[in-house]
A and B are shown apart, each in its own frame.
Chain A
Amino acid sequence: GQNIDQPTEMTATEGAIVQINCTYQTSGFNGLFWYQQHAGEAPTFLSYNVLDGLEEKGRFSSFLSRSKGYSYLLLKELQMKDSASYLCAVKDSNYQLIWGAGTKLIIKP
């Protein structure tokens, strides 16, 4: 079966750094996406990795290791508005997105 695992919930302090991990087992791989979803809102795109390595985009970075089936999303200089769920999703061999359940990130002052 296809599976995406990520922690259910994480807590971090405003101004700090947090790393959200994602491991996956899918039938084929055509890229990994990270999305942010605030409560009651739609998911919004954060990053895309298809090759191994680190992609940096402002305060957010995403890392991929295809051999390990592993990715992480790194959030720096945390702000209160970063409180949201972070969804990891993988495109399988049929280009279908397989989604994790999301990690709820709680930012404390």
Chain B
Amino acid sequence: DTAVSQTPKYLVTQMGNDKSIKCEQNLGHDTMYWYKQDSKKFLKIMFSYNNKELIINETVPNRFSPKSPDKAHLNLHINSLELGDSAVYFCASSLTENTEAFFGQGTRLTVV
């Protein structure tokens, strides 16, 4: 059983398109995250979300929006994709804000 699963694993798309990345966790965790890992391997938090609160990293463009249909899912929607959006995007979840995060396998997004 995959604890945190995200799809697709690879995504190649043209500039200006809108795309979504799906994430699901079957761990019963309260908190989910989206991270961006750029070519320099820095992991940057984009969003953290639990049932009560969405925390947005203020540096994230508003073209990016998280959508959570329920506690087990946190999808990432991206509008008007730009070349600089190319990166690996990781979904993660943790039991609480204080505990370790479990990561999905990542989505390698390439914008051409």
Q: List A residues at the B interface (Cβ < 8 Å).
A: 30-31, 33, 41-45, 48, 85, 87, 89, 91, 94-97, 99, 101-102
Q: Is the CB of B48 within 8 A of A45?
A: no
Q: Is the CB of A44 within 8 A of B45?
A: no
How would you classify the secondary structure of chain B's contact residues: helix, strand, loop or mixed?
loop
For chains A and B in complex, what number of residue pairs have CB atoms within 8 angstroms? 40
Give, as a whole number of angstroms, the nearest-CB distance from A49 to chain B.
Answer: 12
Q: Kindly supply a per-residue 1/0 record for chain B positions 11-44, scoring 1 wherever the CB is within 8 Å of any chain A CB and 0 otherwise.
A: 0000000000000000000000000000011111
Q: Is the CB of A43 within 8 A of B55?
A: no
Q: Is the CB of A95 within 8 A of B98?
A: yes
Checking B42, B45, B104 against A42 with a beta-carbon cut-off of 8 angstroms, the contacting residue is: B104
Q: List B residues at the A interface (Cβ < 8 Å).
A: 40-45, 48, 55, 57, 90, 97-106
Question: A96-B48, A96-B55 are known contacts. Are A87 and B105 too (CB-CB below 8 A)?
Answer: no
Q: Is the CB of A48 within 8 A of B100?
A: yes
Question: A87-B43, A96-B48 are known contacts. Are A42 and B100 too (CB-CB below 8 A)?
Answer: no
User: Which of B101, B104, B106: most chain A Cβ within 10 A?
Assistant: B101
**Nearest 10 CB-CB pairings of A with B:** A42-B103, A95-B97, A45-B100, A99-B43, A101-B42, A102-B41, A43-B103, A42-B105, A42-B106, A101-B41
Give, as a whole number of angstroms, the nearest-CB distance from B43 to chain A.
Answer: 4
Given contacts A41-B105, A43-B103, A48-B99, 19 further A-B contacts (CB under 8 A): A33-B100, A42-B90, A42-B104, A42-B105, A42-B106, A43-B90, A44-B103, A48-B100, A85-B41, A87-B43, A89-B43, A91-B97, A95-B97, A96-B45, A96-B55, A96-B57, A101-B40, A101-B42, A102-B41
Residue of B with least CB distance to A45 = B100
Residue of A with least CB distance to B31 = A95
Query: Which residues of B sit under 8 angstroms from A96, Cβ to Cβ?
Result: 45, 48, 55, 57
Q: Is the CB of A43 within 8 A of B48?
A: no
